[in-house]
Amino acid sequence: MRKLKEFFVERLILICGLASIFFVILIFLFLTKEGLAVFKSVRPLDFLLGRNWYPISEPAQLGILPLIFGSLLVTLGAAVISIPIGVACAVYIAEIAPLKIKEVLKAGIELLAAIPSVVLGFIGMVTLVPWVKTTFHLPTGLTALSGSIILAFMAMPTIVSIAEDALYSVPKSYKEGAFALGATHWQTIYRVLLPAASSGIVAAIMLGIGRVIGETMAVMMITGNAAVIPHSILVSVRTLTATIAAEMGEAVVGSEHYFALFAIGIVLFIISFIINVTADLFLHKRR
Amino acid sequence: MVKFNAKNLNIWFGQIHALKGVNIEIEANEILSVIGPSNSGKTSFLRMLNRLNELHANFRMSGWLEFDREEIKRINVESLRKRVGMVFALPLPLPLSIFENVAYGVRMHGEKNRGKVAGIVEGALKQAYLWDEVKDRLGVSAFKLSGGQQQRLCIARTLAVAPEVILFDEPCSGLDPISTAKVEEAMLRLKKDYTIVLVTNNVKQAARVGDRTAFFLSGELVELDRTQKLFTAPADRRTDGYIRGEFG
């Protein structure tokens, strides 16, 4: 009887484990099947490097270069804002802050991570967008810059918590060794702790950026969604994710447009896959 | 000349009373060995001398401790640690080349002239008796060295910032007998120019290299005497018991 029970429990757990892999493979297969269909009518290079995204004109023009640029620009902007602030915050929490402030900050960062992206987008829409508009004298505040700032807030919790973890796990003896040589606190942080934790910090940054690139709701609300190759950070852009979210509802199933959106999904999948694998490589290097 | 002078020194880590009313004078150019079982306070005492205990969040102290006739708390902590170097139990090379490991502290303290840095590095490696073994491969990663060589590299790194005192915290606990002999030889020759405080778990090592030996037990300094005297005719029964290996 006990053996039988053991047998069933083991099988059940096995099935659960396989199910998750099975679903991932299923999703991947579905994505490729639907996405690759677009290349029957468009050549891959024209799809990736085409400058015009007019999916419902006749004939449809399906070039996603403006969307790729939109995603990259917003991500780059978010990275420029969130990396220095995030890493500095991690250093402060791990090394400088007194215990009480440390607790408060950590709770605050977790709270920031818990805000739903649509709420952040909404707040950005009513506060940040008008501010960008008046500060830079623009016709509209719905720009890549607004998107970058909001996304920086979304990347920050990931960057801070993982980088803080990496700094914290640097052996105490490294720090003592530096102090014993007469290093100041800042010299110890800058010359010993940061280099020693560098692989973990890079992983933190990659995961933060991974979150930014996949983010949809907030960017769709505040970047203006103009599918044009941007020439500055102060113009409207449209990202890969926002395109899928905005157009999937109105694309006719089985149309070129429909397949193209799936192909965009593949592109996104490849980008985040590369980012995650890179982060993983750095995390493993640490161990 | 007296380098360190402690009067009724007490320290606590939270609730733990780690040093209890320690009175001690450390002379210039002597090797003072500090022995005692684990948790006897000997390492805590050593780490008072370069104020490393202060990294501990719940550290408190009372009593008097002076270095070169100046109260230790009044000395800028970075310059104190530059003057009082420390070698740890585990050799801790940085993930850099042999040369860069030694040059590290020198550069950190602001020396930029390449020729000068190279000269200091060579001098420090010679003093640590490592130069002949590494002079042809200074660019190689420090991790390629053996444990004993790494420990002497750490000694060279400490020497490179030109300290007056060197604190050794069980420097040979992870080394084989031959490497240990080399480190001890280096210590004996360094005595000429430096004051050395050696904390060790190895009673025989204390007997071999110490001019004077201090025996700590449960945070108290039980006995301090010339090494010869302490090992042949200890005044305290507890010292006698410890050096004869009755407890450890």
B2-243 has which fold?
Rossmann fold (3.40.50)
Of B82, B92, B161, the CB nearest to A173: B92
Per-chain mean pLDDT for chain B: 91
Q: What share of chain B is helix, strand, coil (3-state, %, to 5)?
A: 40, 30, 30
CB contacts under 8 A, B 55-74 vs A, are: 55, 57
Per-chain mean pLDDT for chain A: 91
Of B78, B85, B157, the CB nearest to A184: B78
pLDDT recorded at residue A259: 92
Distance CA A90, CA A96 (A): 10
- Best mutation target, A179, A184, A193, to test chain B (most B CBs within 10 A): A179
Q: Which amino acid is at A122?
A: F
The predicted model gives B34-38 an average pLDDT of 92
Distance CA B76, CA B74 (A): 6
Residue pLDDT, tens place only, B89-107 = 888 888 789 999 999 889 8
Residue pLDDT, tens place only, B168-225 = 999 988 888 888 998 899 899 998 899 999 999 889 999 999 999 999 999 999 999 9
Pairing mode of beta strands B31-35, B212-217: parallel
Lowest mean pLDDT: which of A223-227, B22-26, B50-54?
A: A223-227
Residue pLDDT, tens place only, A62-119 = 899 999 999 999 999 999 999 999 999 999 999 999 889 999 999 999 999 899 989 9
Which of A193, A211, A218, A256 is closest to A63 using CA atoms? A256
The alpha-carbon gap from B246 to the nearest alpha carbon of chain A, in Å, equals: 32
- pLDDT of A287 > 60? The answer is no
- Best mutation target, A103, A173, A181, A188, to test chain B (most B CBs within 10 A): A181
Q: Which amino acid is at B197?
A: V
The alpha-carbon gap from A183 to the nearest alpha carbon of chain B, in Å, equals: 6
CB atoms within 10 A of CB B199: 26
Residue contact A182–B78, C-beta within 8 A: yes
* B232 interfacial to chain A (CB closer than 8 Å): no
Higher-pLDDT residue of B247 and B90 is: B90
Which range among A37-46, A71-80, A186-195 has the greatest average pLDDT?
A: A71-80
A35 alpha carbon, distance to own chain's centre? 22
A53-286 has which fold?
MetI-like fold (1.10.3720)
Of A174, A183, A187, the CB nearest to B92: A174
Place of tokens 């007998």: B177
- The kind and range of the H/E element at A190 are none
* B52 interfacial to chain A (CB closer than 8 Å): yes
Residue contact B85–A180, C-beta within 8 A: yes
Cα nearest neighbour of B58 on chain A: A99
Of B55, B81, B90, the CB nearest to A181: B81
The alpha-carbon gap from A174 to the nearest alpha carbon of chain B, in Å, equals: 7
| CB-CB contact of A221 with A143 (8 Å) | no
- pLDDT of B112 > 90? The answer is no
Which of A134, A120, A121 is closest to A220 using CA atoms? A121
* Domain chopping of chain B, boundaries: 2-243
* Domain chopping of chain A, boundaries: 2-40, 53-286
* B90 interfacial to chain A (CB closer than 8 Å): yes
- pLDDT of B247 > 80? The answer is no
The alpha-carbon gap from A178 to the nearest alpha carbon of chain B, in Å, equals: 8
Residue contact B88–A184, C-beta within 8 A: no
Distance CA A124, CA A78 (A): 14
- The kind and range of the H/E element at B25 are strand B16-27
Cα nearest neighbour of B47 on chain A: A180
Alpha-carbon Rg for chain B, nearest whole angstrom, is 18
Residue contact A173–B79, C-beta within 8 A: no
Burial of B116 (0-12, 13-18, 19+ CB in 10 A): exposed
Facing residues of B141 across strands? B97
Of B88, B105, B109, the CB nearest to A173: B88
The predicted model gives A154-158 an average pLDDT of 93
B100 alpha carbon, distance to own chain's centre? 22
The alpha-carbon gap from A191 to the nearest alpha carbon of chain B, in Å, equals: 9
Residue pLDDT, tens place only, B145-159 = 988 899 999 999 999
Residue pLDDT, tens place only, B223-244 = 999 999 999 999 999 999 998 8
Collect all residues of chain A within an 8 Å Cβ-Cβ radius of residue B164: none
CB atoms within 10 A of CB A194: 19
Could you report the predicted ipTM of this complex, rounded to two decimals?
A: 0.84
DSSP A40: G
pLDDT recorded at residue A228: 87
HSE-up of residue B211 (Cα within 13 Å, Cβ side): 15
The predicted model gives B7-15 an average pLDDT of 93
* B82 interfacial to chain A (CB closer than 8 Å): yes
Place of tokens 């059940």: A12
Residue contact A176–B52, C-beta within 8 A: yes
CB contacts under 8 A, B 141-160 vs A, are: 157-158
Pairing mode of beta strands B70-71, B16-27: unpaired
- Best mutation target, B54, B75, B92, B151, to test chain A (most A CBs within 10 A): B92
Reported as a pLDDT band with limits 50, 70 and 90, residue A286 is low
3-class DSSP state for residue B202?
Answer: coil
* B105 interfacial to chain A (CB closer than 8 Å): yes
Reported as a pLDDT band with limits 50, 70 and 90, residue B121 is very high
Residue pLDDT, tens place only, A123-146 = 999 999 999 999 999 888 899 999
